[in-house]
Amino acid sequence: MPQATQTKRAPVSGEFDVAIVGAGFGGMYMLHRLRGLGLSAIVFDVASGVGGTWYWNRYPGARCDVESMQYSYSFSEELQQEWQWTELFAAQPEILRYANFVADKLDLRRDMRFETRVTDAVFDETAHRWTVRTDRGDVVSARFCVMATGCLSAARMPDFPGLSSFKGKTYHTGYWPHEGVDFTGKRVGVIGTGSSAIQAIPVIAAQAAHVTVFQRTPNYSIPSRNGPMPEVYSQSWKGNYPALRAEARMARNGILANPNDVSAIATPEQERLAVYEDRWASGGTTFMAAFNDLITNKASNDTAAAFVRGKIKAIVKDPATAELLAPTNYPIGTKRICVDTDYYLTYNKPNVSLVDVKNTPIEAITPDGLRVGNEEYKFDAIVFATGFDAMTGALTKMGIVGRNGATLAAKWEAGPRTYLGLMTAGFPNMFMITGPGSPSVLSNMIVSIEQHVDWISDCLSHLSDRQIDCIEPALSAEDAWVRHVNEVADTTLYPSAASWYMGANIPGKPRVFMPYIGGVGAYRQKCDEIAAKGYEGFQMEGPVNAAVAAE
Ligand code: NAP
């Protein structure tokens, strides 16, 4: 869990143009752009440094599954030319080094306050300003608030009875100790089989005496085919970055995935299998771009799912374990596709076992381990790879209070409601970077972060040029956007899976498909059109011309 406050400093007070919550890739770039606009800003983050998700997720094997050459800022030619990635898919320490390299180059830290949790942000309707308070006694007044809080930042520990009774060590993948963990000779239980677990299990198994994996739902995982970065490959990107970045910004997921614009089911079987073999051999999430209808046509999806199940069964030697690892009850890709290095192979090791907790759930954590049904498993350490309160958790946990004293948590009780995933009605002057209702987690996050930060920066310039000091979406525009987000989701197979995209991993969380699946390029065009029409769907007020309404 987040570390205790360490560094002494005086509380911050006074007025800023913008308060930013979060010093990950969103908050860092937002600060840089605001400086360019001549606006004053302060950034708060619980972490002791920059990097956001890459600061916290230090579990063994943590690695990005977007190619390194595509997972970096594109706004500065100098940054993208100077930084050298060492692997095709960068590991967490290297991405964190990259975040620090950017922070150094842009001298970002002087406007950041770390080890500081924003406890509440309250909008003053008369002054059109936010008052932001922290657990370090900071109280700042800001015209605008930018929530750069990340989509997967509120780690979730299931409420198992007996948790505090465990005598060994417990870890959550999302809050991994900075000093690392030595599992040598230890009996380790891992709860969960999502992206984090799938990356961590092979690495932990290489060290531990025994690893027992508790699986509720199996995932489809594609080999990453990671390796050292070939210089020629790096140069092919660096030599052509402007064009490639422009293409990525308009691509469906913000990633150059070489999409095959052909239906799977309309393709003859042998040809189709050859395409899957090819994608499997080249590895990574672009497997889902093998055909154009894998997320919309169940029959097409079934062919991809069957192919991956076949691979799992070919790799895993014990038929019962292979059967358990092969997903059958949801379409491939509708829970976040995973990417691994030797995940399935790891189950062939004598020190790794798999326990199905689908029908007989984990009942309790005990002093010596955990209990499933009548069986007790004994461990020296338990790793919770149990995921996040995704997309909304970080926001609804903060005390965000908008007009009429209404809280964001109450407004979103039945699911998040936003206009473009950028703002929410009733909370003027509060922007979200990659908020629910935007492509966010369905995309290359850095591409989506840059798009949102650029849009917000342009919007702030627009307001400042017109001396408008208050902006907020019209409820009708928000309602229409929420309807559109749902309609587009319903044209796909996504809502059929009990995924964290749907809030299904959190007991009691409403089942709403949270990200926007209309595509990164289409979404960007929509945002640009709205801006070009004078921020259509937004209401504006200002002290100079209080009558300025939605243009
Ligand atoms: P996750 O995908 O939500 O996986 C959590 C796992 O814990 C699931 O297998 C879940 O089972 C299981 N679980 C939760 N509560 C449980 C309980 N009470 N009993 C038993 N099992 C339980 O979380 P994650 O693996 O941390 O990944 C979250 C997201 O972060 C990913 O989908 C991805 O977007 C991102 N991520 C990306 C990378 C990468 O770039 N390579 C790496 C890591 C994470 P159910 O499925 O049944 O709920």
Q: Which tens digits make up the pLDDT trace of 167-180?
A: 999 999 999 999 99
My answer on whether 463 and 527 are in the same domain is yes
Number of domains, the chain: 2
Measured by CA distance, the residue closest to atom 10 of ligand 1 is 192
User: Does residue 325 lie in a domain region?
Assistant: no
Pairing assessment for the beta strands 221-223 and 338-340 based on DSSP bridges: parallel
Domain interval for residue 204: 156-219+336-387
My answer on whether 450 and 358 are in the same domain is no
- Of 371, 387, 403, the residue that ends a domain is 387
Q: Check residue 4 and give its pLDDT.
A: 52
Give the Å distance between the CA of 490 and the centre of ligand 1: 23
Cβ-based neighbours of 289, under 8 Å, separated by 6 or more: 252, 257, 258, 259, 260, 279
Give the Å distance between the CA of 284 and the centre of ligand 1: 18
Give the Å distance between the CA of 467 and the centre of ligand 1: 45
| 295 vs 336: CA distance, rounded Å | 12
User: Does residue 303 lie in a domain region?
Assistant: no
User: Does residue 241 lie in a domain region?
Assistant: no
Q: Check residue 49 and give its pLDDT.
A: 98
- Arithmetic mean of pLDDT over the chain: 96
Q: Which of 215, 221, 365, 386 to mutate to test the pocket of ligand 1 (most atoms within 8 A of CB)?
A: 386
Backbone angles phi, psi at 413, to 5 degrees: -55, -35
Instruction: Report, as an integer, the average pLDDT of 195-203.
Output: 98
Instruction: Report, as an integer, the average pLDDT of 151-155.
Output: 93
Residue 532 has pLDDT above 60, yes or no: yes
Residue 428 has pLDDT above 90, yes or no: yes
- Of 325, 352, 387, the residue that ends a domain is 387
**Contacts made by residues 464-469, CB under 8 angstroms, sequence distance 24+:** 464/37, 466/540, 466/542, 466/545, 466/548, 467/542, 467/543, 467/544, 467/545, 468/540, 468/541, 468/542, 468/545, 468/548, 469/128, 469/143, 469/429, 469/541, 469/542, 469/543
My answer on whether 394 and 507 are in the same domain is yes
Q: Which helix (H) or strand (E) holds 507?
A: none
User: Does residue 60 lie in a domain region?
Assistant: yes
User: Does residue 434 lie in a domain region?
Assistant: yes
My answer on whether 65 and 171 are in the same domain is no
Instruction: Report, as an integer, the average pLDDT of 184-190.
Output: 98
My answer on whether 46 and 172 are in the same domain is no
Query: Given the CA of residue 338, which atom of ligand 1 is nearest to it?
Result: 41
Residue 260 has pLDDT above 60, yes or no: yes
Measured by CA distance, the residue closest to atom 14 of ligand 1 is 386
Bridge partners, residue 133, by sequence = 120, 139
User: Does residue 344 lie in a domain region?
Assistant: yes
Q: Check residue 551 and give its pLDDT.
A: 41
Lining residues, ligand 1, CB within 6 Å: 63-65, 152, 158, 173, 191-197, 199, 214, 216-217, 336, 339, 357, 361-362, 385-388, 441, 500, 505
Contact 13, 138 (CB under 8 A): yes
Contact 399, 120 (CB under 8 A): yes
My answer on whether 87 and 190 are in the same domain is no
CATH of the domain at 360: 3.50.50.60
Residue 416 has pLDDT above 90, yes or no: yes
The string of pLDDT tens digits covering residues 80-90 is: 999 999 999 99
My answer on whether 43 and 67 are in the same domain is yes
The string of pLDDT tens digits covering residues 456-491 is: 999 999 999 999 999 999 999 999 999 999 999 999
Instruction: Report, as an integer, the average pLDDT of 177-206.
Output: 97
My answer on whether 198 and 341 are in the same domain is yes
Residue 19 has pLDDT above 90, yes or no: yes
Contact 362, 529 (CB under 8 A): no
- Cα torsion 476, 478, 484, 486 to 10°: value is -120
The pTM assigned to this predicted structure is: 0.96
Q: Check residue 5 and give its pLDDT.
A: 55
| 269 vs 290: CA distance, rounded Å | 14
Measured by CA distance, the residue closest to atom 27 of ligand 1 is 195
Measured by CA distance, the residue closest to atom 37 of ligand 1 is 195
Give the Å distance between the CA of 386 and the centre of ligand 1: 5
My answer on whether 375 and 463 are in the same domain is no
Residue 330 has pLDDT above 80, yes or no: yes
My answer on whether 103 and 203 are in the same domain is no
Q: Which amino acid is at 275?
A: V
| 194 vs 219: CA distance, rounded Å | 7
The string of pLDDT tens digits covering residues 40-64 is: 999 999 999 999 999 999 999 999 9
pLDDT bracket for residue 542 (50, 70, 90)? confident
My answer on whether 368 and 477 are in the same domain is no
Give the Å distance between the CA of 114 and the centre of ligand 1: 27
Contact 455, 475 (CB under 8 A): no
pLDDT bracket for residue 7 (50, 70, 90)? confident
Instruction: Report, as an integer, the average pLDDT of 393-403.
Output: 96
Q: Check residue 488 and give its pLDDT.
A: 96
Measured by CA distance, the residue closest to atom 28 of ligand 1 is 387
Give the Å distance between the CA of 364 and the centre of ligand 1: 20
Q: Which of 505, 509, 511 to mutate to test the pocket of ligand 1 (most atoms within 8 A of CB)?
A: 505
User: Does residue 145 lie in a domain region?
Assistant: yes
Q: Check residue 415 and give its pLDDT.
A: 94
Query: Given the CA of residue 158, which atom of ligand 1 is nearest to it?
Result: 18
**Selected residue with higher pLDDT from 548 and 237:** 237
| 167 vs 334: CA distance, rounded Å | 38
Instruction: Report, as an integer, the average pLDDT of 312-321.
Output: 98
Cβ-based neighbours of 91, under 8 Å, separated by 6 or more: 61, 62, 63
- DSSP for 460-506, please give it: HHHHHHTT--EEEE-HHHHHHHHHHHHHHHHTSSGGGS--GGGTTTS
Q: Check residue 358 and give its pLDDT.
A: 95
My answer on whether 182 and 64 are in the same domain is no
Give the Å distance between the CA of 194 and the centre of ligand 1: 4
Q: Is the C-alpha dihedral spanning 229, 233, 234, 235 positive or negative?
A: positive
Query: Given the CA of residue 198, which atom of ligand 1 is nearest to it?
Result: 25
Let me know if 80 is exposed, middle or buried by CB neighbors in 10 A (0-12, 13-18, 19+): middle
- Of 387, 402, 422, the residue that ends a domain is 387
Residue 1 has pLDDT above 70, yes or no: no
User: Does residue 142 lie in a domain region?
Assistant: yes
